[in-house]
């Protein structure tokens, strides 16, 4: 008997020998730190010592640890035969069907439709095999429902979302019990600095910057702040700042607005507004670039913070020069305020949504919140999937026929490689979806779209449609793909112990040539940068500093949502920072080394907040110089 595979495999294995009659086994070789690697009541297939294969039911929910292991996995029934170590386990990709959907399918009372959600930067599009407009919620956000009966007014209490995430934006629409509502966050703006009182010049001993209040050019109130900047001012210099009357927590606001003006045309990024948790704008933690400015024209800047969660105690704001000024420049700044347009969920996946119009009728408890996706199309089929040594089973082609040509205006203008694609199966009764759709496949685009035109004689009513093929790669295969191999034998053989591809090739001295994520080399964030820095200093990979930093990352940061966000945020940029430093600024390693030693001292003293702050002190200046 085989497991119901769709689109690919995980490839875990038995860790230790297990005998017939045992109902608890140890496993390994899962993707590291894989959440919900197995869910209760899922089936796994195990090949026994005698070559027979049997399906077993998982008895609880399991996650893998940082070593890719799941210990004490309970199964039912007990093993029917002996199993030896390193035998593979076959696991189906995640898919679940609701009771309501099973009932509808059994009774053959529904219309079946398949559709693919193709996600690209800034949005997503749905390729559908049905002519229905599909009311559904993006499964990435959870299965949001009404939390509590008899709700009225303009506040809707919900649960079932993913935890601690942005889920709705101001103006988003959704359907509840057949009634369409609009999310009305209100976009309330909160003032951070009104620019009514004079700012301070950073270096008063020089005459290269002059700051005054201006009542001639202003956008709000009585004054704005005017700064006259000489061409002698060097890049990355703070020219003026304002210490706030008290520390402000603006971490719940995702965006900032302010007005700027210049007497000459400037380039984007010549100036930046900065926020700091220290007085005098020392070591800013957030940078908002000015756009390109036309001479003598006010412009309102509206930008999202890079990481608003760290903006918990802002004590000062200021302006830094980041460009080479070709002429003396006067700039004005006015009315700095923050705001949010998002509804965010709490740690339990709950959220209160302000809506218009008022709730009517009162929605039923546990009613689903649904968005409407417009779909086109007619027929879906899958390429046959064959097992082979080159992981072909992890790749597939989905073919959608009868797709309206208008969808191509979206598809063919987007970059595709590495974007998410998800294929669902939905069931309808009376034109409405029955419960949530079944996720059949979740993977990455790896081959782009191929489009074939279908002309009028091929379809009814002379409709212009096309056939779209999409090449997809399973998520699990990408998790198992080696990344971060460096150009030396030890790095290569960490993944492939028997590979002698670098034998006879001299080690590259004091030079890192990475690609991918460098996961094996030392994880992410500061550990990658620290590895490069300490290697530059001649210290080994197992030196005290690296060991302390890695434990701090794995045993402290990785176990909190805030720490995970910190790791993930800097993980995306640190490889580029290392490459830039290696190529042109290795002199920076001396200062970085001193900062690393200070961070290690904080960690050893259990002053973890100071260690996190030192992390930002190291990374933020590098980010602003090189990114």
For the segment 451-499, what is each residue's pLDDT rounded down to a tens digit? Answer: 887 554 444 444 567 788 888 877 666 555 555 566 566 666 666 666 6
Three-state secondary structure string covering 501-524: CCCCCCCCCCCCCCCCCCHHHHCC
Q: Which residue has the tokens 């001649």?
A: 538
Rounded to the nearest integer, the mean pLDDT of the chain is 79
State the pLDDT at residue 358. Answer: 94
Which uninterrupted H or E stretch holds 593? helix 588-604
State the pLDDT at residue 521. Answer: 34
State the pLDDT at residue 461. Answer: 43
> What distances in angstroms separate CA 113 from CA 106, 379, 380, 451, 563, one per listed residue?
16, 9, 9, 21, 41
What is the Cα–Cα distance from 218 to 228, expressed in whole angstroms?
16
> 139: buried, middle or exposed (CB in 10 Å: 19+, 13-18, 0-12)?
middle
- More confidently predicted of 336 and 66: 336
Q: Domain 190-340 carries which CATH code?
A: 2.60.120.260
pLDDT tens, residue by residue, 579-626? 778 777 778 888 888 999 999 999 888 888 888 888 888 888 887 777
> What distances in angstroms separate CA 445 from CA 20, 117, 266, 476, 511, one per listed residue?
42, 11, 40, 13, 33
* Per-residue DSSP letter, 310: G
What is the Cα–Cα distance from 576 to 268, expressed in whole angstroms?
22
- Backbone φ, ψ for residue 41 (5° rounding): 80, 0
State the pLDDT at residue 65. Answer: 86
Q: Which of 577, 440, 474 is nearest to 101 (CA)?
A: 440
Q: Which of 37, 3, 14 is nearest to 475 (CA)?
A: 37
pLDDT tens, residue by residue, 87-131? 888 776 554 566 677 777 777 677 777 788 877 655 677 777 766
Q: Is 608 left (phi over 0), alpha (psi -120 to 50) or beta?
A: alpha
Residues 6+ apart with CB under 8 A from 515: 483, 484, 485
Q: Look up residue 197 and give its two tokens.
A: 């009182």
Q: Which residues of 438-465 are buried (b: 16+ CB within 10 A; e: fewer)?
A: bbbbbbbbbeebeeeebeeeeeeeeeeb
State the pLDDT at residue 211. Answer: 95
State the pLDDT at residue 245. Answer: 94
CATH 2.40.10 applies to domain 1-94: yes
The distance from CA 460 to its chain's CA centroid, rounded to whole angstroms, is: 43
pLDDT tens, residue by residue, 207-252? 789 999 999 999 999 999 999 999 999 888 899 999 999 999 998 8
State the pLDDT at residue 512. Answer: 41
With cut-offs at 50, 70 and 90, classify the pLDDT of residue 338: very high
Q: What ranges do the domains of the chain cover?
A: 1-94, 98-128+377-481, 190-340, 489-626
Q: Per-residue pLDDT averaged across 560-588, rounded?
A: 74
Q: Per-residue pLDDT averaged across 274-293, rounded?
A: 91
Q: Per-residue pLDDT averaged across 288-305, rounded?
A: 93
């Amino acid at each position: 008997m085989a497991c119901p595979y769709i689109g690919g495999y995980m490839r875990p294995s038995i860790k230790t020998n297990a005998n017939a009659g045992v109902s608890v086994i140890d496993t390994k070789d899962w993707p590291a730190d894989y959440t919900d690697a197995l869910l209760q009541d899922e089936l796994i297939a195990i090949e026994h010592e005698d070559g027979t294969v049997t399906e077993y039911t998982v008895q609880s929910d399991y996650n893998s640890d940082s070593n890719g292991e799941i210990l004490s996995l309970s199964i039912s029934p007990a093993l029917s035969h002996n199993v030896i170590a390193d035998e593979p386990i076959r696991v189906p990709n995640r898919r679940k069907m609701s009771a309501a959907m099973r009932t509808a399918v059994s009774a053959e009372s529904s219309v079946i439709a398949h559709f693919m959600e193709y996600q690209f930067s800034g949005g997503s599009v749905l390729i559908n095999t049905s002519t229905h407009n599909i009311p559904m919620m993006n499964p990435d956000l959870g299965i949001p429902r009404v939390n509590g009966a008899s709700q009225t007014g303009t506040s809707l209490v919900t649960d079932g979302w993913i935890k601690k995430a942005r889920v709705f934006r101001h103006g988003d629409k959704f359907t509840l019990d057949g009634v369409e509502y609009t999310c009305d966050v209100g976009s309330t703006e909160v003032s951070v600095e009104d620019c009514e009182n004079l700012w301070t010049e950073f270096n008063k001993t020089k005459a290269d910057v002059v700051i005054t209040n201006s009542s001639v050019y202003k956008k709000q109130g009585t004054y704005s702040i005017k700064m006259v900047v000489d061409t002698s001012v060097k890049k990355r210099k703070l020219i003026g700042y304002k210490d706030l009357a008290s520390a402000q927590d603006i971490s719940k606001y995702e965006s900032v607005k302010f007005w700027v003006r210049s007497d000459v045309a400037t380039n984007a990024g010549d100036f930046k507004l900065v926020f700091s948790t220290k007085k005098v704008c020392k070591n800013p933690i957030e940078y908002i670039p000015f756009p390109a400015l036309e001479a003598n024209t006010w412009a309102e800047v509206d930008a999202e913070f890079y990481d608003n969660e760290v903006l918990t105690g802002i004590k000062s704001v200021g302006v830094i020069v980041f460009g080479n000024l070709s002429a003396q420049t006067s700039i004005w700044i006015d009315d700095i305020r923050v705001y949010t347009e998002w509804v965010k969920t709490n740690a339990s996946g709950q959220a209160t949504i302000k809506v218009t119009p008022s709730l009517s009728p009162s929605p039923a408890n546990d009613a689903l919140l649904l968005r409407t996706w417009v779909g086109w199309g007619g027929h879906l089929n899958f390429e046959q999937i064959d097992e082979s040594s080159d992981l072909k089973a992890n790749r597939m082609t989905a073919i959608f026929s009868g797709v309206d040509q208008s969808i191509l205006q979206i598809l063919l203008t987007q970059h595709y490689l590495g974007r998410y694609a998800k294929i669902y199966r939905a069931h309808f009764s009376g034109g409405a979806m029955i419960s949530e759709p079944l996720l059949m496949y979740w993977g990455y685009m790896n081959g782009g779209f191929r489009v074939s035109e279908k002309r009028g004689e091929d379809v009814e009513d002379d409709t212009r449609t096309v056939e779209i093929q999409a090449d997809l790669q399973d998520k699990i295969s990408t998790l198992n793909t080696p990344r971060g191999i460096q150009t030396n034998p030890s790095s290569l053989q960490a993944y492939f112990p028997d590979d002698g591809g670098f034998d006879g090739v001299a080690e590259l001295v004091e030079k890192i040539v990475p690609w991918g994520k460098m996961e094996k080399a030392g994880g992410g964030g500061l550990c990658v940068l620290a590895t490069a820095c300490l290697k530059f200093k001649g210290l080994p990979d197992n030196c005290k500093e690296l060991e302390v930093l890695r434990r701090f990352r794995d045993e402290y940061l990785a176990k909190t949502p805030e720490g995970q966000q910190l790791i993930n945020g800097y993980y995306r940029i640190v490889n580029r920072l290392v490459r830039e430093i290696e190529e042109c600024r290795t002199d920076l390693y001396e200062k970085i080394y001193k900062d690393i030693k200070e961070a290690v001292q904080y960690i050893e003293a259990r002053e973890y907040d100071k260690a996190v702050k030192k992390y930002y002190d190291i990374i933020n200046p590098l980010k602003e110089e090189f990114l």
